[in-house]
Structure 1
Amino acid sequence: MERIAATISSLPPPNVPGRAALDAICVEENLPVNAVRIVVGLLSCCAVAPFYHLLPSVPFRHLANVVLGMSVGWFVFDYMLVHSIVAIVVTYVLLHIAPRKLAGRLVAAFLFAYLIGCHYFREYYEPNLVWDSAQMVLTMKLTGLALSYSDGGLKDDLKTPLMLRNQLLRIPSLLELCGFIYFFPTFLVGPGFEYHEYVDWVNNRRSAPLSIHFKNVLLAIMCIGLFFVSDNFPIDIIDSPEFYPEAPWVIRCLLQSLSVALYRFRFYMVWSLAELGGVLAGYGYSADSNEWSGLTNNHILSVELPVNMRVAINGWNIKVALWLNTYVYQRVALKKGKPTAFSTLASFLVSALWHGLAPGYYIFFIMGALYIEVAKHIRRRYRSFFHYTEDRKAHPHAIFFEYFTPGKCHPLAILYDLGGMLFTWIAMQYAGIAFEILDLQRCIRIWSSWYFAPPIITIVLLVFFNTSKPARRQKTE
């Protein structure tokens, strides 16, 4: 990978129509060049997407994805687009020549090794590199496709429901494979999706109602607006003396947490634009739920106002979480056919590896795994004292309406719920410092100003829960 990057860097500057003028404006206005390129690319995809409905046949739809996806990739990444081509070609060859039962693992090993090389190059040689975002999504999609092809060769009694749903019975043609990877609204930043979902979209023309488009436009505008608000709380200075120096300790910690939370809106912004473009092209309908949620990658309310850690984790980067659940959590370190605590840890470690090599990623995901274990213990031991019933299919925030229904919860349930929400939010932002800053020395300096309270409390609770038995609730008539 480094040799490819070195060869590319020696090439003459590429001729990308319109990009030089855009870059000049960014330099003049002191805007981040790469970020603006991505946003302009996503907006261009949104503008083109409605015309996708005019394409006359399935092969044309595949071809249009390849042409449009590579065009927007060339605009943003120029020569670095070659990395996606290398990954596709090697995957396609391995699917044809490797034994079917090994093809998925071989493809996954190659793609992750290649992605690690990309991360290494970015973190040690080119910090402003952006094409690895597309490579991350590509790795997720191709790995899932290859493992699903291996699953298709198993006997039906060995397949889980997830395997049966995603299984691939034949190798896609090169055109189909490229159309799947270069699906233009999501090629730059994701989210990812399964191959059978892509095939269903290509073969079935659908148009979302105007209310869905209106909702997606409003969501994108809100995310863009809060992205600009985040400039007032820049995460780069939260450990500097000039960051609210006169504020009391608690307020300063909360303001640091606010900076971390607002930083996430740069991700919400690009994912909301990708979803907007995909739905405009007719992608995203889910027959199971009868909703246009196929490209929804975040439940922002659940992440930013989480009632517990499980809700927060499940609401963030949904497609990556689903991919990890399908291809890691449900397959690694099973005990009697069921995932274990090590399955959770393995999922978080694979997620960290997928994101990069910086220690901050691994600290963040290890903290997340520990938070999840503590949250499980608290929920199992104490929730029934405050909420007497539970509807797993209800919206997470529906618990706040139980206060108006006699017999459903304890009068002090609101304290349990609001306390859980507050501590979950603070724990998330504390861990998020590692994910967003990455520099370990800076992270330690910031955490020391918190006296390392969140991880200390987490470890103490884990020790307590694993060395004590839960109190039994007395039954009443």
Structure 2
Amino acid sequence: MWGIFLYILDLVGLSPIPFLAELIGTTAPALKLLISILMGYPIAILYHHHIKDFFDYRNIYFIVCGVDMAFFNFGISMYHNMIPAIVIYMTTKFLGAGKMNAVITFVFNMGYLLIGYIVTESEDYDITWTMPHCVLTLKLMALSFDLWDGKKMIKGETLSENNKKTALLRAPSFVELIGFVYFPACFLVGPIFSFRRYIDFVMDKFPVEKEAKVYEKQALRRLLQGLGYLIAFQVGVYVFNVKYMLSDDFWETSIFYRHFYCGMWAHFALYKYISCWLLTEASCIRFGMSYNGVETTPEGKTISKWDGCNNIKLLRFEGATKFQHYIDSFNCNTNHFAAEYIYKRLKFLGNRNLSQFFTLLFLALWHGTRSGYYMTFFNEFLIMLMEKELEPIISKTELYNKLWSHNVTKYMLYGLLKMYTIVFMGWSLAPFDLKAFSKWWGVYSSLYYSGFVLFLPWAILYKPLLKMAIKASSVRRVRAD
């Protein structure tokens, strides 16, 4: 009950949190959040040493720890996170699993979240009850769809392999549901995971005892990586500061420097999320929640995998040379949710670009009501549209293949593409972080709207011109031969 104790100290003015926050240069809510995330690891250790053997108390332990954590961070406003859980329990109980239950859950949760944003959101980075609520929204939406898929399975309808893995043949009990909602390792910032994973973990379907040494080692490695990225974030945003980009001094530098600075700021700004996900994944692994089957090594040895709650692929992220690499590596569980529960279920639209547009619109709504969110996901739509159409065109050209086959030019090309991803990640992320139109538009002005110039005219100007140039080059080559 450490959270409630610290909250009471805060009420009477005796909490050390404000002093420590000022000492390290952050805010009290941010420090509370960090403390809570770090507490997930020892809570996992205590679970294995004192709670695991008492089967009937497992869900209770998760509830007590999660509620305590919620109270520490949000006080009495933590009740908001309980309401959607009660609603889905009641609708499932009275309506049963199915389409109606999924629709009601979707509409109610998105509506509740958006109202929360309207009431609490400001131009700053807010840490309020809406932070865990946005994670909870996806978890409960997925739960309702998984119950619907389970009903389809019972009727003998065909499901995809991914849907089969998460489909539920029975509704959760109230205690199971609340334990799922408040699971302490990832209640606050994710990662999200299916109820099927949660109940398999609680019911001892994962080889937790047998593979203890393996996952404990992996959990510790993730913990250290998380702490390393946390330090890198603090150093990076000190060197590359968003306040400087909003100042008049920023305009005094060269246009190339401004683009590079904005890109490096964005890269380190993302470390804030990466460090949180690594730390929460460490706790999930330490609990034994992250089991993901087995794999065979090149030497023929079978080993267990503990990456089921992985939300960031570090090597792919750091080595990204196109925006698809960022999508594949960053916020993986949310992207998986968007793909499985939004994009693929919009198949009836009959147009992939339209399905992608509405999926990105959903993600923007899910993040908040500020214009910056919508600009960021609109940027993603434009960039991905260009990349998906550009790559098949240029990959067939002789020049492109020659550049990648030469030992020197391939590294030059890699460096050029790496600079492209860093620079335009800065362009894309600036609205997301700054939120307010007046702020992010000011940054865009300092960059001379380069992203709009590069990506907006692709379909109507650059694409036709590129095809004409390649065709003309092919004709000249044929004539020369």
Task: Give the TM-score normalised by structure 1.
Answer: 0.85
The corresponding residue for 1:431 is: 428
- Paired AA for residue 241 in structure 2: P
**TM superposition shift of 1:457:** 1.2
Using the alignment, how far apart are the partners of 2:385 and 2:123 within structure 1? 37
**TM superposition shift of 1:14:** 9.7
**TM superposition shift of 1:111:** 0.4
Using the alignment, how far apart are the partners of 2:262 and 2:246 within structure 1? 9
Using the alignment, how far apart are the partners of 1:424 and 1:124 within structure 2? 29
Q: Cα distance 1:449–1:221, how it changes in 2: closer, same or farther (>3 A)?
A: same
The corresponding residue for 2:116 is: 118
**TM superposition shift of 1:124:** 5.3
154-163 or 195-204: bigger deviation: 154-163
The corresponding residue for 1:396 is: none
The corresponding residue for 2:336 is: 322
The corresponding residue for 1:184 is: 184
The corresponding residue for 1:25 is: 19
Partner SS state of residue 460, structure 2: helix
The corresponding residue for 1:332 is: 346
- Paired AA for residue 238 in structure 2: D
**TM superposition shift of 1:414:** 4.0
**TM superposition shift of 1:127:** 6.9
Deviation by residue 1:350-372 (Cα, 9 ceiling, x = unmatched) = 11011001010011001101111
Deviation by residue 1:281-331 (Cα, 9 ceiling, x = unmatched) = 122121165422122211234334312111111211111000000101111
Partner SS state of residue 153, structure 1: helix
Point out where structure 2 has 5 or more consecutive residues left out of the alignment: 296-303
Trace 1:230-269 onto structure 2 (pairs within 5 A): 230-243=237-250, 247-269=253-275
**TM superposition shift of 1:203:** 2.1
Q: Cα distance 1:410–1:377, how it changes in 2: closer, same or farther (>3 A)?
A: farther
Using the alignment, how far apart are the partners of 1:419 and 1:27 within structure 2? 40
Aligned residues: 445
Tell me which protein shows more helix as a share of its residues.
2
The corresponding residue for 1:53 is: 48
202-211 or 354-363: bigger deviation: 202-211
The corresponding residue for 1:364 is: 376
137-146 or 222-231: bigger deviation: 222-231
**TM superposition shift of 1:465:** 6.2
Using the alignment, how far apart are the partners of 1:386 and 1:217 within structure 2? 46
Point out where structure 1 has 5 or more consecutive residues left out of the alignment: 1-12, 390-401
Q: Cα distance 1:409–1:32, how it changes in 2: closer, same or farther (>3 A)?
A: same
Q: Cα distance 1:176–1:413, how it changes in 2: closer, same or farther (>3 A)?
A: same
8 Å contact 1:49–1:277 — kept in the other structure? yes
The corresponding residue for 1:297 is: 311
**TM superposition shift of 1:175:** 0.8
Aligned CA-pair RMSD: 2.9
Q: Cα distance 1:125–1:444, how it changes in 2: closer, same or farther (>3 A)?
A: closer
Using the alignment, how far apart are the partners of 1:383 and 1:426 within structure 2? 23
The corresponding residue for 2:224 is: 218
Deviation by residue 1:366-386 (Cα, 9 ceiling, x = unmatched) = 110111111101221122447
**TM superposition shift of 1:456:** 1.5
Q: Cα distance 1:250–1:161, how it changes in 2: closer, same or farther (>3 A)?
A: same
The corresponding residue for 1:394 is: none
8 Å contact 2:81–2:133 — kept in the other structure? yes
8 Å contact 2:314–2:329 — kept in the other structure? yes
Partner SS state of residue 297, structure 1: coil
Matched, 1:79 2:76: yes
- Paired AA for residue 119 in structure 1: Y
The corresponding residue for 1:166 is: 166
**TM superposition shift of 1:278:** 1.5
Using the alignment, how far apart are the partners of 1:14 and 1:251 within structure 2? 49
The corresponding residue for 1:140 is: 138
Q: Cα distance 1:124–1:413, how it changes in 2: closer, same or farther (>3 A)?
A: closer
Partner SS state of residue 81, structure 1: helix
Using the alignment, how far apart are the partners of 1:422 and 1:127 within structure 2? 28
Using the alignment, how far apart are the partners of 2:375 and 2:421 within structure 1? 17
Deviation by residue 1:6-36 (Cα, 9 ceiling, x = unmatched) = xxxxxxx998255441333146535311000
The corresponding residue for 1:3 is: none
Q: Cα distance 1:133–1:250, how it changes in 2: closer, same or farther (>3 A)?
A: same
Matched, 1:66 2:63: yes
- Paired AA for residue 83 in structure 1: H
The corresponding residue for 2:37 is: 42
8 Å contact 2:263–2:427 — kept in the other structure? yes
The corresponding residue for 2:150 is: 152
Aligned pair partner of 1:107 in 93, 105, 108: 105
Q: Cα distance 1:257–1:15, how it changes in 2: closer, same or farther (>3 A)?
A: closer
**TM superposition shift of 1:387:** 11
- Paired AA for residue 31 in structure 1: T
Q: Cα distance 1:350–1:379, how it changes in 2: closer, same or farther (>3 A)?
A: same
311-320 or 225-234: bigger deviation: 225-234
The corresponding residue for 1:10 is: none
Aligned pair partner of 2:387 in 368, 375, 378: 375
8 Å contact 2:321–2:420 — kept in the other structure? no
Matched, 1:16 2:28: no
Using the alignment, how far apart are the partners of 2:16 and 2:396 within structure 1? 57
- Paired AA for residue 451 in structure 1: Y
Task: Give the TM-score normalised by structure 2.
Answer: 0.85
Using the alignment, how far apart are the partners of 1:193 and 1:129 within structure 2? 22
